[in-house]
């Protein structure tokens, strides 16, 4: 319906103007339907959700089903491999807790590794050093690319960019902050803490692994767009102990 601001003056309508109005009425009707009679009828574009913002413009990999972001409890690794703190990862006062072990392309059954690629096996220092805050060793960065990144269908730049995006997608529970004292946590409690902190994550999306009685890794499953997803095969690898110890940070 055409919205008129004021009534027509009938006395002023001539036969010529009437014919003109008859020609204009269909166009005016279409315009009124498309635009509405006032601004209040205009629909607003939907606001992007937090999840959509977090996963916007992520390069999409190929040749696998989903990702596993593996987070290592650094003090456990350091206690076994570098108790004197000679490496940058384990240096005294480094206060590292969870670090990125790697982003692993995964299939519903099994996973690919060391895939043939035209990309270089070597990760340039100029690229790798951008990610030392996540993966605190150029040696580990190179190994993750050769074993897992080559199976992502992505370039080196995109693979590590997706690794950072997956890390940024997570919110770490306070219970998993590095501490100067050893703490003990229930395995189920760790999973619950992650699901509470990360909307959309379920207990089937996260697996806690252990080295003896100590926390080893936390593995989070994402689809290729970095939405949380369930991963039964990964979840079955969870630690069977009731609780695990978190060694203190060096």
Q: Where are the domains of the chain?
A: 10-41, 52-246
The 10s digit of each residue's pLDDT in 164-209 is 999 999 999 999 999 989 999 999 999 999 999 999 999 999 999 9
Count CB atoms within 10 A of the CB of residue 81. 10
Q: How far apart are CA 250 and CA 237, in angstroms?
A: 28
- State whether CATH 3.20.20.70 applies to domain 52-246: no
Q: How would residue 80 be classed by pLDDT, with cut points 50, 70 and 90?
A: very high
Q: How would residue 55 be classed by pLDDT, with cut points 50, 70 and 90?
A: low
pLDDT for position 56: 61
pLDDT for position 57: 82
Structure tokens at 133: 């805050």
Assess contact for 225 and 58: CB atoms under 8 A: yes
Residue 63 has pLDDT above 50, yes or no: yes
pLDDT for position 17: 45
């Amino acid at each position: 319906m055409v919205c008129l601001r004021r009534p027509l003056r009938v006395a002023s309508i001539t036969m010529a103007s009437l014919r003109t109005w008859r020609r204009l009425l269909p166009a005016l009707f279409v315009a009124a339907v498309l635009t509405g009679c006032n601004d209040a009828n205009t629909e607003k574009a939907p606001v992007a959700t937090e999840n959509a913002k977090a996963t916007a413009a992520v390069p999409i990999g190929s040749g696998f089903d989903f990702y596993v972001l593996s987070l290592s409890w650094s003090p456990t690794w350091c206690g076994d491999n570098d108790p004197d703190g000679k490496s940058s990862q384990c240096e005294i006062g480094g206060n590292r807790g969870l670090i990125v072990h790697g982003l692993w392309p995964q299939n519903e059954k099994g996973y690919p590794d060391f895939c043939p690629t035209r990309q270089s096996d070597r990760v340039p220092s100029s690229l790798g050093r951008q990610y030392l805050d996540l993966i605190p060793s150029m040696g580990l960065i190179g190994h993750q690319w050769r074993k897992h990144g080559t199976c992502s269908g992505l370039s080196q730049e995109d693979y590590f960019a997706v690794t950072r995006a997956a890390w940024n997608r997570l919110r770490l529970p306070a219970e998993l902050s590095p501490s100067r004292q050893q703490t003990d946590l229930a395995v189920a409690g760790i999973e619950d803490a992650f699901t509470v902190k990360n909307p959309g994550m379920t207990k089937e999306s996260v697996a806690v692994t252990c080295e003896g009685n100590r926390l080893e890794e936390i593995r989070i499953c994402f689809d290729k767009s970095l939405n949380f997803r369930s991963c039964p095969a990964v979840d079955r690898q969870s630690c069977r102990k009731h609780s695990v110890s978190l060694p203190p940070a060096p």
